[in-house]
């Protein structure tokens, strides 16, 4: 697959320790094999019409691609990101939640949980957001604003990690009623054995802890949180927040 310059830079960044994820490095290095489909958007004030290519791609992605990442290199400020979130939520299958969390250093931060609902009606994606903003956890400060989505069902890695003692919490999504959440931890791991998956999971846990050491926003580096924005962004997104969800403690996909 031919990648543009922005996509190449983003993929290179995903392979660095800064991301705090060994799985991300593997999936970035084996980009095409992992089943990624990228898309780059130009402009700093995109409306629902300009975002139609993303929704069109996502509607075709399940069963075709394993994951999609969309880059927005000209969207750089918190207000621009808030407008992007609002524009997405004015189109089908997107919803915005405010995440309420007991984060001692997040006073005045607006924690946004962006969700994309898969066409199968059975799964809902925790959209992972990246942005070069001071409010974002260190592991989410990518070269460009980006949204990364898992476009398939739950994968095997979370359950394997728990079974081998690498993850504290059991993945119980198989017994949950729809829509069942999915996340980048569900991407194909491309590893030969369960033992290898568990080793990479443990290495990821250690690396993430190292990369976030001393970061006031470390506890916001959770799958359920897409963006950490300043409170001033609330006036842009408040009308499209469908609910407020409190989260506590670690999760199988935190």
- Tens-digit pLDDT profile for the chain (254 aa)? 899 999 999 999 999 999 999 999 999 999 999 999 999 999 999 999 999 999 999 999 999 999 999 999 999 999 999 999 999 999 999 999 999 988 776 667 899 999 999 999 999 999 999 999 999 999 999 999 999 999 999 999 999 999 999 998 899 898 889 999 999 999 999 999 999 999 999 999 999 999 999 999 998 999 999 999 999 999 999 999 999 999 875 544 45
Range of the domain at 183: 5-243
In a domain, 199, yes or no: yes
**E-assigned strand segments in 41-108:** 67-72, 94-101
Say whether 171 sits in a helix, a strand or coil.
Answer: coil
In a domain, 249, yes or no: no
CA–CA distances in Å: residue 57 to residues 11, 31, 37, 218: 19, 18, 9, 32
- Note the maximum CA span of the chain: 48
Contact 182, 123 (CB under 8 A): yes
Q: Which pLDDT does position 6 carry in this prediction?
A: 98
Q: Which pLDDT does position 252 carry in this prediction?
A: 42
In a domain, 49, yes or no: yes
Q: What's this model's pTM, rounded to 2 decimal places?
A: 0.95
Parallel, antiparallel or unpaired: strands 145-150 and 67-72: antiparallel
β-partners of residue 185 are none
Name the domain count of the chain: 1
User: CA-to-CA distance for 184 and 126, rounded, in angstroms?
Assistant: 8
Is the peptide bond prior to 179 cis by the omega test (within 30 degrees of 0)?
Answer: yes
Phi, psi (rounded to 5 degrees) for 180: -85, 130
User: Which is it for the CA torsion 74, 181, 14, 189, positive or negative?
Assistant: negative
Say whether 249 sits in a helix, a strand or coil.
Answer: coil
In a domain, 14, yes or no: yes
In a domain, 254, yes or no: no
In a domain, 174, yes or no: yes
β-partners of residue 246 are 100
Count of beta carbons in the 10 Å neighbourhood of residue 5: 9
In a domain, 248, yes or no: no
User: CA-to-CA distance for 1 and 35, rounded, in angstroms?
Assistant: 10
Contact 237, 226 (CB under 8 A): no
In a domain, 36, yes or no: yes
């Amino acid at each position: 697959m031919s990648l543009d310059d922005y996509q190449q830079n983003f993929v290179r960044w995903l392979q660095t320790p800064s991301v705090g994820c060994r799985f991300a490095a593997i999936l970035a290095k084996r980009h095409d094999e992992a089943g990624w489909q990228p898309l780059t958007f130009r402009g700093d004030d995109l409306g629902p019409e300009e975002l139609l290519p993303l929704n069109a791609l996502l509607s075709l992605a399940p069963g075709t691609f394993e994951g999609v990442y969309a880059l927005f290199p000209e969207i750089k400020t918190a207000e621009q990101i808030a407008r992007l979130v609002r524009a997405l939520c004015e189109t089908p299958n997107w919803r915005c939640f405010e995440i309420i969390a007991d984060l001692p250093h997040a006073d005045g931060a607006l924690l946004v949980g962006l969700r994309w609902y898969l066409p199968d009606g059975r799964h809902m994606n925790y959209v992972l957001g990246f942005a070069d903003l001071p409010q974002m956890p260190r592991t989410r400060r990518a070269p460009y604003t980006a949204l990364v989505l898992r476009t398939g069902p739950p994968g095997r890695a979370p359950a394997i990690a728990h079974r081998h003692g690498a993850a504290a919490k059991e993945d119980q999504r198989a017994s949950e009623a729809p829509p069942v959440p999915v996340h980048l931890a569900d991407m194909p791991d491309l590893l030969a054995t369960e033992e290898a998956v568990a080793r990479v999971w443990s290495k990821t846990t250690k690396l993430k802890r190292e990369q976030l050491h001393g970061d006031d926003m470390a506890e916001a580096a959770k799958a359920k949180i897409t963006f950490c924005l300043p409170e001033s962004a609330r006036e842009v997104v408040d009308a499209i927040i469908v609910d407020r969800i409190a989260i506590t403690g670690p999760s199988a996909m935190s």
